[in-house]
Amino acid sequence: MIKHPFPPLYDKNSKVLILGSFPSVKSREQMFFYGHPQNRFWRVAAAVFGCETPLTIEEKTEFALSHGLAMWDVIASCDIVGSSDSSIKNVTANDLSVIIKNSAVNRIYVNGKAAEKYYNIYTRDKLGIEAVCLPSTSPANAAWSFEKLVEAWSVIA
């Protein structure tokens, strides 16, 4: 059983919550969201907002908060092989109500089908908020070009 090793990112001004499924090995090592260099999240989000891609954890934190983004993952702990969403078992969900109560979040987006699946199973009915599924920024989602991802993800702006 692996526990989620880092806290959510949000502040009272966050309006949009972006949820992954569970952090990759690289993200767990870095103790921050989308830490794998091949994950396109930070490049896509920067393109959506017309900004330079943030590189350091400090820059990523500032970028997210300055654009009203909150970030966390659906899963608090699970059994997982490496970073493979398809291997996830024995899920315990994060309590997302903490973010909702302490921010201005009124829209929730999930990064890919695995996050959508676990959100719908464990969290949607508790929060009473539908999440919109966006195409995964993972390198495993090779079917989506960078340009198509930016177009789809533009709804977060």
- Taking only the tens place, the pLDDT of each residue in 19-29 is 999 999 999 99
Q: Where are the alpha helices (DSSP H) in 20-145?
A: 25-30, 41-49, 57-66, 97-101, 113-122, 124-127
Contact 42, 54 (CB under 8 A): yes
The mean pLDDT value of the chain amounts to: 97
Options 2.60.120.380, 3.40.50.620, 3.40.50.720, 3.40.470.10; CATH for 2-156 is 3.40.470.10
Domain boundaries, the chain: 2-156
- Taking only the tens place, the pLDDT of each residue in 138-150 is 988 999 999 999 9
pLDDT averaged per 10 residues, the chain (length 157)? 97 98 96 95 98 98 98 98 92 97 98 97 96 95 96 98
Q: What is the pLDDT of residue 42?
A: 98
